[in-house]
Structure 1
Amino acid sequence: MFDPHWNALHGVPAYPVERYGALADRIGGILMSRNDVLLMQAEATVALEAVAVSLARPGLSALNVVTSSYGSWFGQWLRRGGAAVRDVAAQPGLPIEIEAVAKALDAGPHVDLLAVVHAESASGILNPLTRIMALAQARGIVTVVDAVASVGGHPLDIDGLGIDIAVIGPQKALGGPAGVSALSVSRRAWQLILRDGTPRDSILSLADLKTWVDGGRRGLPGTPSPLEFFALEATLDRIEAEGLESVIARHALAASATRTGLTALGAGAWVPSAKASNLVTSVAVPESLTPAALITTARRLGVELTEGVGTAPARLLRLNHTGPRAAFQPVLANVAAFGAALRQAGHPSDIAAAAEAISAAYSR
């Protein structure tokens, strides 16, 4: 008999414990890393806080690159644990300049840890990760990289760059679930984490997850949510079927076509392409307008544009082409809706030229 209260989502079986290790290995392949890969039953902000909590203690010296609120939070978490933290901050809505990082490192004192966000979905910028990692490598500094937004949207060679800890979330370019995250941890990072005083018996304890690795990577601590892990497995199936290089190329094309369309529209992108993320493209709002007004107009057309986060006094509007949105139709809709919103507010915009430019970009 049909039960009106039954829902298939309520009867999901437990995720098979023997498949957790395989999931971790598949993520390691995406990250191009032989380091330990940990799975965390929470969205990526929790994983980032767990890294900070597990590393921070009195006597630790850290240089923290701040290009959004995420970098600010990471510095706060380190300080809460007793670490001595120096922030090196970019101008609002802009990537960090490599000269600023080099200057901060040379100014002393010795730095044990360097933290940086790779790509910022908050503003659509890309930090110079390769050059920052080279500076850290030359000084023997342990590195933490927030790659939540960049994985799948940009090349990310963890071992090749010498990244000690990288945190990822599948909900951005990989187009997966938001309720689970992963991180890779090098042997050198474990030595720093597992010193006396590391937290234990906590959702924020990486040391507890090290026990999971050492115990054969079967049942995760706590009560895992099977839905999230089945969804993560399906996400990896899809990424592997498309091919990671193709996923990255799809995001690069979406970013390039968006920028080309904005130029044809008469509204240039916020930063040069070399400093821009492939996940979202930001554009400055004309002085006489407000981002909220343009967002409201676009929403009436069925298109979701968003305001830059933590980028004041710069007033930025973000065009999202992340994950499944890294495709022709969403890119065209984003630019056309932005142009229509500008036109309705009395600003000229050549929507036809923008559409032609985007079509040409996808026809090559």
Structure 2
Amino acid sequence: MFDLGWNPLHGVPSYPAERYAVLADRIGGILQSRNDILLVQAEAVVALEAAAVSLARPGLSVLNIATSAYGGWFGQWLRRGGATVHDIAAGPGLPIDVEVIARALDAGPHVDVLALVHAESASGILNPLPEIMALARACGIVTVVDAVASVGGHRLEVDDLGIDIAVIGPQKALGGPAGVSALSVSRRAWELILRDGAPRNSILSLADLKTWIDGGRQGLPGTPAPLEFFALETALGRVEAEGIESVIARHALAASATRAGLAALGAAAWVPPAKASNLVTAVPVSEALEPAALIAAAARLGVELTESVGTASARLLRLNHTGPRAVFQTVLANVVAYGAALRQAGHPADIAAASEAISAAYSR
């Protein structure tokens, strides 16, 4: 008989039930939150939809800030549940202006919930979260923040900011698995979710997930996938060993060095630093150049550049420096490959100056 040999993926042991609560507490530490932490056995978009489904009902008024497709989806999920949703959209690939939100809150009817994405990996922008949270707190509004891309890449102090529901995924800046996600849920959010009969008996029911907390945080409901939780545990260990502040600083440096390299290359970044995400840097492509050709030229050098998502009219390419990519070698490779692609397309690019600028940024 042909012996395939032992495979460590066969017969994976169950994840110890008592360690789920430890994982939740470690996530709470990263979020700087004492709110309830729920673990979701799926990619973060499921946790986002669960938050919308659990909140939505007729009579609920929501101000939904849509700066990407994710914000648009959140509004759709809320409407499907009967909520009244007022969308505020920014220009393609641009962050929201806090004054626009202030005017909407002043002029519009009462708002129960405000929802937004913190950092957009789709376009490399950063929404002004502290200022928006301050407006929401002043109006007594429950807040929902999609922090999937921002956690680990930007400061995210959930309790100090007053975020009622924060949804995170470990697969980006935290360098973890994609098949598990988490939410922090405040007491105010639970009061709104559980009012008037929360959705039950559903994988999208936060009220059902709350039974894990109410039951002493032992085994998770359903059949958890142990590999995902072992991988999450390992990722959190790496983050804690490095220190969350150092992880954030590493992403900030990668973003700053990328912008310096692009400037020296002769290519302008899409938005100024204060409005830019630390996860990816977007650069606009002129009408004279073809994004697909630039992507293909970079790929021949072993570097992956991608087009922004949902911003076709802006013609943006993304340089990814997220998670394990937030290091000197990747930042340098991204910018050099982009410069080489520009040159192949007949566009001038000072690759030597770009390399020097990146090296200088990392040498400070």
Secondary structure of 1:239's match?
helix
CA distance in 2, matches of 1:208, 1:3: 45
Q: Deviations over 1:121-163 (max 9, x none)?
A: 0000000000000000000000000000000000000000000
Q: Deviations over 1:288-335 (max 9, x none)?
A: 112111101100110000000011310000000000000000000000
CA distance in 1, matches of 2:44, 2:31: 16
Number of the residue aligned with 1:340: 340
Number of the residue aligned with 1:349: 349
Number of the residue aligned with 1:63: 63
Verify: 1:250 aligned to 2:254, yes or no.
no
CA distance in 1, matches of 2:200, 2:65: 28
CA distance in 2, matches of 1:335, 1:178: 27
Match of 1:192, as an amino acid? L
Q: CA deviation at 1:3?
A: 3.5
Number of the residue aligned with 2:282: 282
Q: Deviations over 1:206-256 (max 9, x none)?
A: 001111001011111110000000000000110000000100000000000
Q: CA RMSD in A?
A: 1.0
Match of 2:13, as an amino acid? P
CA distance in 1, matches of 2:196, 2:292: 50
Equivalent pairs, count? 364
Match of 1:28, as an amino acid? G
Number of the residue aligned with 1:291: 291
Match of 2:29, as an amino acid? G
Q: CA deviation at 1:6?
A: 4.1
Number of the residue aligned with 1:361: 361
Please list every run of 5 or more consecutive structure 1 residues that lacks an aligned counterpart in the other structure: none
4+ aligned runs moved over 4 Å, structure 1 = none
Residues 295-310 of structure 1 aligned to structure 2 (within 5 Å): 295-310=295-310
Identity %: 82
Verify: 1:33 aligned to 2:33, yes or no.
yes
CA distance in 2, matches of 1:5, 1:71: 47
Number of the residue aligned with 1:212: 212
Q: CA deviation at 1:107?
A: 1.5
Residues 174-189 of structure 1 aligned to structure 2 (within 5 Å): 174-189=174-189
CA distance in 1, matches of 2:125, 2:290: 21
TM-score normalised according to structure 2 size = 0.99
CA distance in 2, matches of 1:64, 1:5: 53
Number of the residue aligned with 1:43: 43
Number of the residue aligned with 2:52: 52
Number of the residue aligned with 2:87: 87
CA distance in 2, matches of 1:263, 1:108: 42
Please list every run of 5 or more consecutive structure 2 residues that lacks an aligned counterpart in the other structure: none
Q: CA deviation at 1:2?
A: 8.3
CA distance in 2, matches of 1:238, 1:282: 28
Number of the residue aligned with 2:97: 97
Residues 7-26 of structure 1 aligned to structure 2 (within 5 Å): 7-26=7-26
TM-score normalised according to structure 1 size = 0.99
CA distance in 1, matches of 2:330, 2:30: 25
